Each structure stands twice: as structure tokens, then as C-alpha cells.
Structure 1
Amino acid sequence: MDVSALAQSVNGPVYRPGDEGYAEEVAAFNLSRQHTPDVVVAARSADDVAAAVRWAGEHALPVGVQATGHGAVLPITDGVLVSTRGLDEVTIDPVRRTARVGAGVKWRRVLDAAAEHGLAGLCGSTSDVGVVGYTLGGGLPVLGRKYGFSSDRVRSFDVVTGDGQLHHVEAGDGTELDWALRGGKGNVGIVTSMEVELLEIADLYGGAIFWPGALAPTLLTVFAEWVDTLPDEFSASISLLRLPPLPEVPAPLRGQFTVHLRIAYLGDDAEGERLLAPMRAVAPPMIDMVGRMPYAELDRIHMDPEHPVPFEEGGTLLRELGPDTIEAILEQAGPDAQCPLLLVEVRLLGGALAGDRTDAVSGRDAPYSLFAVGALMPPIAEAVPGAIRAVVGAMAPWSTGGTMVNFHGVPGDDADRARAWSAPTFERLQRAKASYDPANLLRFGHAVPALDPA
């Protein structure tokens, strides 16, 4: 394939398989996903992205995009990969309380830069993910029950659509682009930068508590009753955690089955202690790390992996967390289960995450999210995908039938992909894709099939 015209039209480097730099540019955070595109464009500007998409269209090649690699649900096996990790601008406007971020920026840089002004962005369970990719899937923040989804706080997008055109999209401008970019993932274009609203949050009451896994039945039962008492300022999740016996795992948790409670509260310590008391009263914990903490250190709450690992994941949305639901969870991942999964998590939704908004974000109608992750490492690698399907399948009687696209896992057929949105939203997203990506170039990842716009 002759890429000389492409190389002359972009400022960033262009790689073919075997070129020095190719392997580094295609590497994903999920080590089980090995991308092997025919061409890689390491974009240095929005114009580079537009040129790459137009070139791909001229050659009828599919287009994938990657920044940090956390969203690599499926391998990119051919075509053109546009790497946006080089779009790494961060500009904080403390007067307007906004951050302008490029597509390659991780939340860690935004949190650190914003904290200098007493401000914060709506980051999720880890600051290691890219701001743009996370937000395009809606973005579920640690403080989502108070402030809503991250996409609710976007002021503008700069996006190259599938036809190779660069657009500037203002929040609330009434266009299908604005609607589809909020929760539609990467189906209508490649976002090169965006401006997000920042909030005046310097610190919070939060952290993690660990108990022995044998207490899982009691803890899940108390958790289900306890969360009904919490105000919207209080966010919580609980996971059944099986950490491997690796040196980097803290000694008390290494190779153990534990229950991990995660909390974040925007209120004073005394009220936080009072609200948390019913969970603490269940039993003395192995580790209690809850207290006043800087918002910029919120990684201490979920303690997600910081380094690339091979993994599989999947999830579903729950409409209830009653005794039967808990029993089904315990059958799959409780103390007596031979479960190969790293974690099975139930996260409290509701509050500001609920309600009607004009966007493509899913999950607003569900009070809970269930999410499962397994490490694809010997000797359990082969058992992980089936175990995730079993956990998600066991939740069917209490599921809304939907998922959030960022927590969906490996997308299957069209019916499975559609579960990430309501039926009307999915159809509207299909029509938007047909309008903005008429050649269906953007068909990697959680892509939706286009509908005839007529």
C-alpha cells in the first residue's frame, strides 16, 4: 500500500507494520487486545485526523481510533488506526471554570492542573483513562449521584466526522452531533478536543474499606438496605474482590477473597461517619482507609490497576437489588463459588445520574450497575469469558436489559450492541451515523450499524 500521499498530508508520523514506532503506537492498555492495522497515523492536530479519515475514505479502508487504549474492547485488525495520544493539550481557565483537553489527555493531568485552582473535573474510578473516550461513553464519575454524568458537563466538542469534515459543536446547539457525542461513543466521528466544565471541589470524605470475603452475604444484604438511606451527595459501590498473589498487591489482600466497599461523600466528616456507620457496624474491617482526602487523590477509592493488564469485562444494569438478586450474585461470585473473576461490582446509581436529558447516555433509568472483570492470565484465562457471561446472565431476572457502553464489555451481534442504549436512542444513533459516517468507516469497537437516513 502506497502511503506517501497520506504521509505528505499530515504532520505526525505514519507507520506501517514492521516500522519502528508501530508497536508502541498500537499498544492498548488491555494487553489481550493486539491491534494490527495496515496503517497508523500518529496525529498531531485535528487537521491530521481529518486528512487521515479522508485518505481512508478514498481507499475504502475502515478507521479505528485510540488514545490511551482503555477502550480497546475488540482488536483493530486492518484499515487505518488514528492514534490521538499526541493531542495532549490541557488548558485550565479558572475564571470560566473550564478545561480544554485534547483527545490524548488522561484525567490525571486534568485533576492535577485543576487542583491548583481549587477546581475538579468529573473523573471516574481511575484517573488513568482518557478524558475524551470516557466522556463519549457518558462517563460515570465517582461523584455522579451529585453531579450527573461527565458528558453532562461538556461545553463543546471539536470532532472529525466520518466524512472527513472538522466540526466545532457547542453544547445545547440542537444538532444531532451534539446529541450523539454525549453517550454515543465513537460512532459519528473522532473527537480531537473538547471543553469541559470544572467544579469547585477541593476535597471529600471517602476511601475504601475491606472485609474478609466470608462476610459477603451479610455485607451485600446490609449494603442493599443501607444505600436506600443515602443522600445524593453520597456515592457508593461494593465489590467481591479476588486479587492475585502478586508482589504488587498489598499483603493483607494478596491472594485473598475480600469485600471492597468504596465511598465518596461531599459533606463534613462527622456526617460522613454517621452515614457510614451501618456498614462499619457489620464487622471489624481488615483495612479501613476512609477519611478526608484531596479530590485529586480519588484513585485511592477504587484502586484500579495502574499498569496495562490483559482482561475481559462485562456488565448490565439492575432495576433492583433484593434478596433474590443478592443470592444470585453470591452463587456466581460468593465465598462458596469457584469464581475466576477479579471483581464483581455493584454500583449505586440514581440521584443526578437519573432523569431526562437530550443525549445518547444510557443508564439513567437504572438504580444499580453490575460490572465484572477477569484477568486473562494462566491458569484462569480460558474460564474468564464464560464466568462473565454467567454472572451477567444470572442477573437477567432483575436487569433492565440494558448496559452502559463503557461497561458493556465485548460487543457481540447487533442485538447485543443495541443493549447499550434504549431502542429509540439506538435507532436515532444509527441514523446519525448514516448522516455523519455515510461510508461506515468508523466500524471498530462498539460500532452501531447505520440506517438509511431517509
Structure 2
Amino acid sequence: MNLLRPGQAGYADEITGFQTAVATAPAAVVAAESAEDVVAAVRYAAGHGLSVAVQATGHGLTAGTDGVLISTRRMTGVEIDPGTRTARVEAGARWEAVIEAAGEHGLAPLSGSSPDVGVVGYTLSGGFGLMARRYGRAADHVRALDVVTADGELRRVEPGSDLFWALRGGRDGFGVVTAIEFALLPVRELYGGSLTFDSADVPAVLRVWRTWSAAAPDTLTTSVAMIQYPDLPMVPAPVRGRHVAQVRIAYLGENGDDVVAPLRAAAPALADTLRTIPFTESGSIAAEPRQPHGYHGTNATVSQLNDAMLDAVLEHAGPGAAAPPVLIIDRLGGALARNPETPGVGWDSSAEYVVRALSVVDGDGVADVRRAHAKLFDALAPWTTGRLLPFVYGEHAPEEVAESVFPAADLRRLRELKRRYDAGNVFRAG
């Protein structure tokens, strides 16, 4: 077990993740290379009365720790079984490694918009991605988990176990997952990309996309993003300095050009990248940034998307807003509205859309960003049904977050299981 303390060489690098707005100063960080290292780290923490937190890529980091931080970034093993269409992935692996390995066999995982994100954290959070309306959440397709619990034991948990239920969507507070096994899908390619529209056309595009997405088949997963691009030389000329609406498409059916024709007719596009692509290029659809930075974000699931709601979105996040966030609206429904064969922690499957806001922040700007986000989500409150855990970034009150993202019955069960598996509250981040 490689244990580093403050001031030692490598400590600062080891605790740094993609999210830089959350300060953390653990008493020790363990650079884990194996499940045995994780076992040793949990036993060390328990023996010294220290809490345990875990970090792979740090994309979903919501709170720091003053205890022991287990860094799993070196645990990057990926095994593909093409016969059973199954992947076994270690705790630190990113989606890009799974996408490439599965693609060699004509298979694809239920990854999200960014291939740079860690597989385990995304899945345990209840993440949904590019094929979600056809196949549901990644957590719905998990077959087994290897997890080190608070007693320092490495366990294999499978369907039928309370712990298996809790981890898939409950995310924090029950142990450190060292490996995950999940089903892959027989998908080689899809019709995907984006249509980008100028600021003057954003109101019309939002309404066309709303009507069009409401009738979308389950084979189509789509979102619309509103983005204010900076006026900087490295930004592509068509969008430099502009506030745009970008409609993102991932379609598993045929005749993709016919399906998106109403969108292309909505307004002239600044950019049109829609085409048939191999799934290994699926990260190009959203083309999300890969460089670490600080950010704060929240979201709301909503029962509908009416004109009053779109007006609120435009007022608080559109071209005229004082400090517009990146605003993304995802179409839900399809498989996301159906009960999976092996349920995990629940979410609002009746919601039609999720509205999410994300703003880049530094140490002094978080309060202003929270106030700006609150104005938007207060306006959407009459139609809000809940929040989704994968899109809560930078909040530091786990209890408050839990009460807003989990159904009441599931939260009671999670608390009961927390007392059973971690009575000493070793995993305090949950």
C-alpha cells in the first residue's frame, strides 16, 4: 500500500481531480493499484478512526475529506468477454478504454457523453448516456460488483443482495467498488452529431426541438445545450463569441437524415456534424472539455416542457442572461421510464425531461453561481418533480442532496443499509 501524507512528493498530484472547485486535504492518500491495496487502506483508516473517501477521475467530486482518500486511478484493467457480451472493469478505468476494447468486438457500453469520465462513479450515480432511451441506465445492466466494505472485507455482490441494490444508484457510503461487471450491447455504429444554431434562432430552435423530441422514438436519445462560447482564438470561428443552441443526437435507427429534417428546417445551422459514425467516435457528439476546471451545477427533472418554462430558460440562461450557464435539457422517457429487470435505487422515471445548469467557478464565485441557478430553478418549480444525482456538482451537504434525489422509500432503505454495513460511518461522504 503506497500511503502519502501532506508534504510528501506525489501527494498534491494524487488528490487532484477533474473538478478543481472542491478543496480537499486528506490526512493521507493511498495510491491504490489493486483490490488488496484498497482493503489495506480501509483497514488502516478504520484502525486510526479516520473516514474514507474514494476518487478515480474526480469528475463527480462533491465534497473533500480530511480522512483517507483512496485514489483508484491506477486500477485501469478492462476485460471484454465477447461470448457473453460482458465487460469487467477496474475502479479507475475511464469509458474511453471500455469503448475502444468493446468496439473491437462490435460491442458498445452504455457510456455517457464524455468518454473521459470514470466508469464506476458514473454507473453508481445512476448515469445515463447516449443510448439511454433505448436501453436505460448503465446501472440497470450491472451484473456484479467487487466492493470493500467498512469491515475491510472484499465482497462480490450480485443480484439479490441488498448491497447490490444500494450501490447501483446510491453511489456513496457503502464501500469502495474495486471492479464492476456489466452487459455490453451489439452496437457498432449510430447516426450522431449535433446541429448548432446562432443566438437569434435559439428561441425558435428550443420550441421546435421540444415538439420534435416529444415524439421521438426510443431509438433516439437527444438533448439541447445552450452555450456561451468565449471570444478567444482557440474557439472555432463559427461559434467564437456567440451564444448558441446545440442540438445533440444519438440515433440507433435508419434514415437518420429524414428523422432530423424538422430540426434542419428550424433555422440555418452554424455547424452540422450529423452523420453515421462508429460508436468509438461517440465522444465527438458533445465534444466535452477534457481539461480539469472548477464548476458548480444542479438540475431538475420536470413533468413537461411548456412555453412558460422555455421562456424562463431563455430569461435566466439564454443569450440575454447576465451570466448564462451551460444549460442542457435532456429528453427522458423510453427505456428510462420502464422498470429494469433488476431494479437499483429509484429515480423519477415519470419525468419527461431533465434541465441542468453548469457554471465554471473559482473560489470566490460559487455563491453568485448558486444564486443565479436558484432563479432559474425557482421559475421551473411548479413543474419540477425531483433531481438526478449524476448532475449535482460541487454541493457540500450530502444529507440535503440525498433528500432531493432519492425517493422517500428508497432513502429510508438506504439509511437502514448504511447502519447495517457501515455503523461506524467510515464512508462519511454518503
| TM-score, normalised via structure 2 length | 0.96
How far residue 419 of structure 1 moved from its aligned partner, in angstroms, is 0.9
In 1, the alpha carbon distance for the partners of 2:345 and 2:402 equals 14
- Cα gap change, 1:416 to 1:32, in 2 (>3 Å): closer
1:153 and 2:141 are equivalent in the alignment: yes
Q: Distance in 2 between matches of 1:18 and 1:443?
A: 24
| Aligned pairs for 1:197-236 within 5 A | 197-236=183-222
Paired position in structure 2 for 1:348: 331
Q: CA deviation at 1:385?
A: 2.7
- Give per-residue Cα distances to partners, 1:390-427, cap 9 Å, x unaligned: 22222111100x11111123153634431111111111
Query: Which digits, 9 at most, give the CA deviation of each residue in 1:217-247, with x for residues without a partner?
Result: 1111111111122100011100111122334
Q: 2:419 aligns to what?
A: 434
Superposition map of 1:155-304 within 5 A: 155-170=143-158, 172=159, 174-268=160-254, 270=255, 272-304=256-288
Write the mapping of 1:85-164 to structure 2, written as runs, cut at 5 A. 85-164=73-152
Residues 248, 299 of structure 1: alpha-carbon distance in 2 compared, 3 angstrom cutoff = farther
Letter of the 1:194 partner, please give it.
I
Match of 1:57, SS state, is helix
Q: CA deviation at 1:378?
A: 9.9
Aligned counterpart in structure 1 of residue 37 of structure 2, from 45, 48, 73: 48
- Give the corresponding residue for 1:72: 61
Equivalent residue pairs, number = 427
From 393, 405, 413, the counterpart of 2:378: 393
**Bigger mean CA offset, 244-253 vs 66-75:** 244-253
The AA in structure 2 aligned to 1:264 is: A
Question: Residues 195 and 111 (structure 1 numbering): CA distance in 2 closer, same or farther, change over 3 Å?
Answer: same
2:149 and 2:155 in contact (8 A); partners too: yes
Mapped partners of 2:322, 2:377: distance in 1: 16
Separation (CA, whole Å) in 2 of partners of 1:226 and 1:301: 19
Deviation at 1:57, TM superposition (A): 1.3
What does residue range 8-23 of structure 1 map to in structure 2 within 5 Å?
10=1, 13-23=2-12
Q: Deviations over 1:329-381 (max 9, x none)?
A: 1111123222342x111100111111234210424221111111111159976
Q: CA deviation at 1:187?
A: 2.0
Change (3 A) 1:421 1:38: same
Of the structure 1 ranges 304-313 and 414-423, higher mean CA displacement relative to structure 2 is found in 414-423
SS in 2 for 1:91: strand
Does 1:39 find its partner at 2:24? no
Secondary structure of 2:415's counterpart equals helix
Q: CA RMSD in A?
A: 1.6
Match of 1:88, SS? Answer: coil
Indicate the residue corresponding to 1:5 in structure 2. none
Residues 326-405 of structure 1 aligned to structure 2 (within 5 Å): 326-341=310-325, 343-357=326-340, 358-376=343-361, 383-400=368-385, 402-405=386-389
Any idea what SS the aligned residue of 1:302 has? coil
Pair 352,26 (structure 1): closer, same or farther in 2 beyond 3 Å: same
Change in 2 beyond 3 A, CA 1:398/1:185: same
Q: CA deviation at 1:48?
A: 1.4
Aligned partners of 1:413, 1:189: CA distance in 2, in Å?
Answer: 16
Change in CA separation of 1:251 and 1:148 when aligned onto 2, cut-off 3 Å: same
* Structure 1 residue 193, shift from structure 2 partner: 0.3
Unaligned runs of 5+ in 2: none
Letter in 2 for 1:120: A
The 1:40–1:416 alpha-carbon spacing in structure 2 relative to 1, beyond 3 Å, is: closer
| Structure 2 residue 15 is the aligned partner of structure 1 residue 26 | yes
Q: CA deviation at 1:275?
A: 1.5
Code of the aligned partner of 1:93: D
Contact 2:38 2:70 in 1 (8 A): yes
Consecutive unaligned residues of structure 1, counting only runs of 5 or more, are 1-9, 448-454
Q: Is the 8 A contact 1:340 1:380 kept in 2?
A: no
Contact 2:112 2:127 in 1 (8 A): yes
Displacement of 1:52 = 1.1
Residue in 2 aligned with 1:4? none
TM-score with structure 1 setting the length = 0.91
- Cα distance in 2 for partners of 1:105, 1:334 equals 36
Partner AA of 1:234 in structure 2: L
1:61 alignment partner, SS class: coil
Alignment-derived partner of residue 317 in structure 1: 301
| Distance of 1:380 and 1:186 partners within structure 2 | 27
1: CA distance, partners of 2:299 / 2:188: 32
